[in-house]
Every structure is written in structure tokens, then in C-alpha cells.
């Protein structure tokens, strides 16, 4: 999510990419296209953030379906992160024209490790997520 939002706020990079792909477009067309793309990207990022938050809350309440859904999403994220790192390390990314900055590589490595850690921790028995029963001490006992 952080990498996605950082790419959205790189307006100059987006403008230069659109100009490279469509050199016949006027500056007004490029600006409106980039503005629409940024707005749509932020909308998608918000939807994804809300979905992850709702799934995490459902998982914390003990819903197994939410744990499975988060596992599938996390595994896909780990696989994609490993694919990006392997593509960069083997030179495939550079061969197909994908430039990866050092910051992008660090963010990919960190998020891949965090996703893998989150998957493992979701399946560990934790006292934090167990239901706690409180006993009312003022209740008269017989």
C-alpha cells in the first residue's frame, strides 16, 4: 500500500510515463488523465485498506473464514514480492524495461517479510485473542 501511494504521489513520473506512451496527447489531456488516475488509485487504495481492516477485525473476533481470506491475500502478496525480488536479482526486470529503485526494492523486501510474518502469527495460539471471561465478584454465591 505504501509503495502504491508513493507511486501515485509521483506526479511528474506519471506525467512523463503518459507522455512517453502517448506523445500526441496535449498537456491538458495528460493532466486530466493523470488527475483521474490518481483519484481512482486513491479510491482503490481506500477500498483495499477498509477491506483488510474489516477482515483483520473479523479474524481477531475468531472468524476462521477471515483468517483464511487473509492467508490467501497474504500468500499472494508474498508470492508477488518474491517474484519482484527474483526478477530484479536475475536481471529479468531490467531486460523487459522495468526500472526498480533501491527504495522500491527495500519496500518490497520489508513488506514481503511482514506479510510472511503476519501469516505465521495468525496461526499461533495467542493469549491476546482468546476469549476472556470476567467473573462478577459482587454476585452473591450460594
Q: Which tens digit of pLDDT belongs to each residue from 60-110?
A: 888 889 999 999 999 999 999 999 999 888 888 888 877 777 888 888 899
pTM exceeds cut of 0.85: no
Q: Could you give the CA distance from residue 2 to residue 46 in angstroms, rounded to a whole number? A: 12
pLDDT the model gives residue 53:
93
Residue 132 forms part of a structural domain: no
Kindly state whether residues 54 and 89 are assigned to the same domain. no
Which residues span the domain enclosing 116? 63-126
Residue 140 forms part of a structural domain: no
Kindly state whether residues 36 and 73 are assigned to the same domain. no
Please write down the long-range contacts of 43-51, taking CB distance under 8 Å and 24 or more positions apart: 45/1, 45/4, 45/5, 45/8, 48/1, 49/1
pLDDT at 25 over 70: yes
Residue 88 forms part of a structural domain: yes
pLDDT the model gives residue 19:
86
| Better pLDDT: 115 or 6 | 115
Mean pLDDT of 122-133: 64
Kindly state whether residues 121 and 69 are assigned to the same domain. yes
Mean pLDDT for all residues in the chain:
82
Kindly state whether residues 111 and 95 are assigned to the same domain. yes
Report the number of distinct structural domains present in the chain. Answer: 2
Kindly state whether residues 30 and 46 are assigned to the same domain. yes
Amino acid at each position: 500500500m505504501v509503495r502504491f501511494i508513493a507511486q501515485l504521489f509521483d506526479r511528474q513520473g506519471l506525467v512523463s510515463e503518459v507522455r512517453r506512451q502517448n506523445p500526441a496527447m496535449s498537456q491538458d489531456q495528460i493532466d486530466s488523465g493523470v488527475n483521474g488516475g490518481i483519484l481512482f488509485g486513491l479510491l482503490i487504495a481506500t477500498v483495499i485498506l477498509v477491506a483488510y481492516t474489516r477482515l483483520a477485525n473479523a479474524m481477531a473476533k475468531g472468524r476462521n473464514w477471515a483468517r483464511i481470506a487473509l492467508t490467501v491475500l497474504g500468500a499472494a502478496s508474498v508470492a508477488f514480492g518474491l517474484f519482484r525480488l527474483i526478477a530484479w536479482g536475475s536481471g529479468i526486470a531490467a531486460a523487459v524495461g522495468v526500472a526498480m529503485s533501491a527504495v522500491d526494492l527495500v519496500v518490497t523486501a520489508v513488506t514481503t517479510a511482514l506479510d510472511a510474518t503476519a501469516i505465521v502469527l495468525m496461526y499461533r495460539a495467542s493469549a491476546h485473542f482468546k476469549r476472556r471471561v470476567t467473573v462478577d465478584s459482587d454476585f452473591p454465591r450460594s
